[in-house]
Amino acid sequence: MKIGTIASHSALNIVSGARIEGFETILFCPPERKDFYASFGFENSLAIIDSFDEVLDMSPENIIMVPHGSFVAYIGAEKLIKSELKIFGSRKLMQWEADRNLKSKLLKNSGLKVPRELISIDDIDCPVIAKTHGAAGGKGYFIAKNRDDAYRNMQPGVEYVFQEYIVGTKVFVTYFHSLARDRLEIFGADIRYETDADANLRFDAQPSFVVVGNIPLVLRESTLARYFEIGKSFVKGFKELTGGVIPGPFCIETIIDRNMEIYSFEFSGRIVAGTNIWMPYSPYSFITHQEKMWMGRRIAREIRELLDKNLLDEALL
Ligand code: ATP
């Protein structure tokens, strides 16, 4: 059995983890990135493709694909969900993630505190962030101080969702829900640094939320304990709402305000790029595993244990 992914996002994380756990790896790579991935010693894993879409035609027989953010960005959730690929992750969760209404339903039903959503522009009674449907990386978003400001910034023909704008620190926490060991592991935390929302805007302009990278974060321990509860509630909420299980990694994206209230505004049901900073381990993964354990390796370890227990099909939903 091989572990495969597409050459982008957290591919180095995934394939280096799979390799150390003794799996053969396959990295679907566009020609222009070949030298880059070969420079890390993955030349024998490369399968050169002209378009990421080509992975949909691969024979899924002996490859377990580990999805990451670029799968959805380049291929699209819908095509992936319909594909025959053996995907380590929950297609159902992917579906809920791709739909803004389902996404907020899941966060709310899991009992998480979420930013207030304003159904129509006329309901705006606080500073808001306006989000477009299906945007990636906050493209087309704007912030508005009030209703008039929102009217001024709206683009004709674009549909927006207005959310209370939370002032605070962006905290992204990654978890690993192990089916093989029947437990939730808190894996790491980071701050996603966005240009130029996180830079010092020196004039009154709309910020851009394009992600530059991730900065490691070690949380106050009392806060970490709250995040553990948030992760547990999310797993439980998903089960109650859909009957499904979440296999492996997921991330809850939050903002902590000055009163230490935690607002969850988004989730990702897969490995996130924020885990790239925790190679070879995070403080939390080291305590849990007592060895170097990064997310790509954790995924491979789980696949191995599920294979041994004949439970892998449960994780390939
Ligand atoms: P991605 O898919 O890459 O996670 P996205 O397009 O789904 O991005 P969000 O993650 O919802 O967009 O938001 C992008 C950024 O906008 C966040 O990282 C954060 O900086 C900001 N943001 C989102 N919602 C809020 C909110 N309610 N209050 C304050 N800032 C917010």
pLDDT in tens, 94-138: 989 988 889 999 999 999 999 999 988 999 999 999 998 765 667
132 DSSP β-pair partners: 160
Site to probe by mutation for ligand 1, drawn from 170, 209, 256 as the one with most ligand atoms within 8 Å of Cβ, is 209
Of all atoms in ligand 1, which is nearest to the CA of residue 198? 20
Position 78 scores a pLDDT of: 85
Domains plus CATH for the chain?
2-113+166-315 (3.30.470.20), 117-164 (3.30.1490)
CA of 179 to the centre of ligand 1 (A): 29
Distances (CA, A) of 37 to 7, 48, 208, 281: 8, 11, 29, 21
CA of 159 to the centre of ligand 1 (A): 16
Position 134 scores a pLDDT of: 67
Q: Express each pLDDT in 165-193 by its tens digit.
A: 999 999 999 999 999 999 999 999 999 99
Rounded-to-integer distance, Cα 150 and Cα 96, Å: 28
Spell out a b/e string for 135-144, using b for 16 or more CB atoms within 10 Å of the CB, else e: eeebebbbbb
Of all atoms in ligand 1, which is nearest to the CA of residue 136? 6
Is the predicted pLDDT of residue 41 greater than 90, yes or no? yes
Position 317 scores a pLDDT of: 64
The whole-number average pLDDT for the span 63-88 is 89
| % pLDDT > 70, the chain | 97
Residue nearest to atom 9 of ligand 1 (CA): 138
Position 72 scores a pLDDT of: 81
Position 118 scores a pLDDT of: 93
90 touches 245 (CB < 8 A): yes
Position 5 scores a pLDDT of: 96
Is the predicted pLDDT of residue 67 greater than 70, yes or no? yes
| % pLDDT > 90, the chain | 74
Quick one: tokens of 263? 């607002």
Position 195 scores a pLDDT of: 83
Q: Express each pLDDT in 255-311 by its tens digit.
A: 999 999 999 999 999 999 999 999 999 999 999 999 999 999 999 999 999 999 999
CA of 255 to the centre of ligand 1 (A): 10
Site to probe by mutation for ligand 1, drawn from 171, 255, 264, 268 as the one with most ligand atoms within 8 Å of Cβ, is 255
The closest alpha carbon to 277, from 307, 302, 251, belongs to 251
**Ligand 1 neighbours by CB, cut-off 6 Å:** 115, 129, 131, 135-138, 141, 163-166, 170, 192, 194, 197, 209, 253, 255, 265-266
The whole-number average pLDDT for the span 218-244 is 97
